[in-house]
Amino acid sequence: MKRVVSISLGSSKRNHVARAEFLGVPFELSRIGTDGDMDKMIDLIREMDGEVDAFGLGGMDLYLRVGSRKYLLRDAARVVRAARKTPIVDGGGLKDTLERRVIAQLAREGFSFRGKKVLMVCAVDRFGMAEALAEAGADLTCGDLIFGLGLPIPLRSLPTFRRVAYLAAPLVRLLPFKMLYPTGRDQDRIEPRYNRFYQEAEIVAGDFHFIRRYMPEDMAGKIIITNTVTQADIEELKARGVAALVTTTPEIGGRSFGTNVLEGVLLVLSGKRPEEVRSEDYNALLDRLGLRPRILRFTEGALGAGN
């Protein structure tokens, strides 16, 4: 049995283990949270290095991604250096393939993004999804300055986002990661802020911890496109009136794992090293796997009748 282990900077309350078979190969998938302790992440990776088939880097990205440019995050680089034998992936390669496919799939199956107001909470984390939404005609607002840096400045188009990101990313990549993203116990708390950006959106998309951290009590009628949600998260979204939830990764053992876990699976199936894998490899494997997003409608008619 192949083993993929996600070592996460996030809360240990979200730990999970599941078994599944992909293309006839049995896998054990596990997620270990370190409650914001980066040194513990490094220790765990060193302990299991060479004992598992792939690591996923959870709760943090290795790169900020803007178009074809990548900016290595200083803190993440320190963590991944602990893996000397086992390959480690952060989910970025799959976000750029799978999540583009999910938007295209929803559009093919009858959901129109054209003119829909979409709040993309952090586009550098999911540039592929942001680009796919813009191409599908969505009225996009990128919340990178709002939710990543605490500056209530919406970026109202992808070209605007690109210009700002090209200027800011070389400096932002040097900041301590905890300044950029909710980690550890911060992932357990909801502190509503920037409500007007949520309220004006019909669709809220992107990283679930960003979405959850600042979401208001009233989320009536919103569609959420994200992943890495637990059953408790789903109940919370329903209680706030969310109309539908789409997770880009499928349900496995009762939850959607992060893209870093699924990218670890695809890496193992490819038989390649991370630096050798191209988008075409992931797309070919995704074609063979036939993965579908998980779509949960909490309100009749949400996402259209075709989905």
> Which string of DSSP letters, residue by residue, matches 264-282?
HHHHHHHTS-GGG--HHHH
| C-alpha closest to that of 117 among 64, 156, 170 | 156
pLDDT at 305 over 60: no
pLDDT at 285 over 90: yes
Residue type, 178: K
pLDDT, position 304: 67
Q: What is the pLDDT of residues 48-85, one digit of tens each?
A: 999 999 999 998 889 988 888 889 999 999 999 999 99
Reported pTM: 0.89
pLDDT at 173 over 90: yes
Cβ within 8 Å of residue 276, ≥6 positions away: none
* Cα gap 61→57, rounded to integer Å: 7
pLDDT at 307 over 50: no
Q: What is the pLDDT of residues 98-152, one digit of tens each?
A: 999 999 989 888 899 999 999 999 999 899 999 999 999 999 999 999 998 899 9
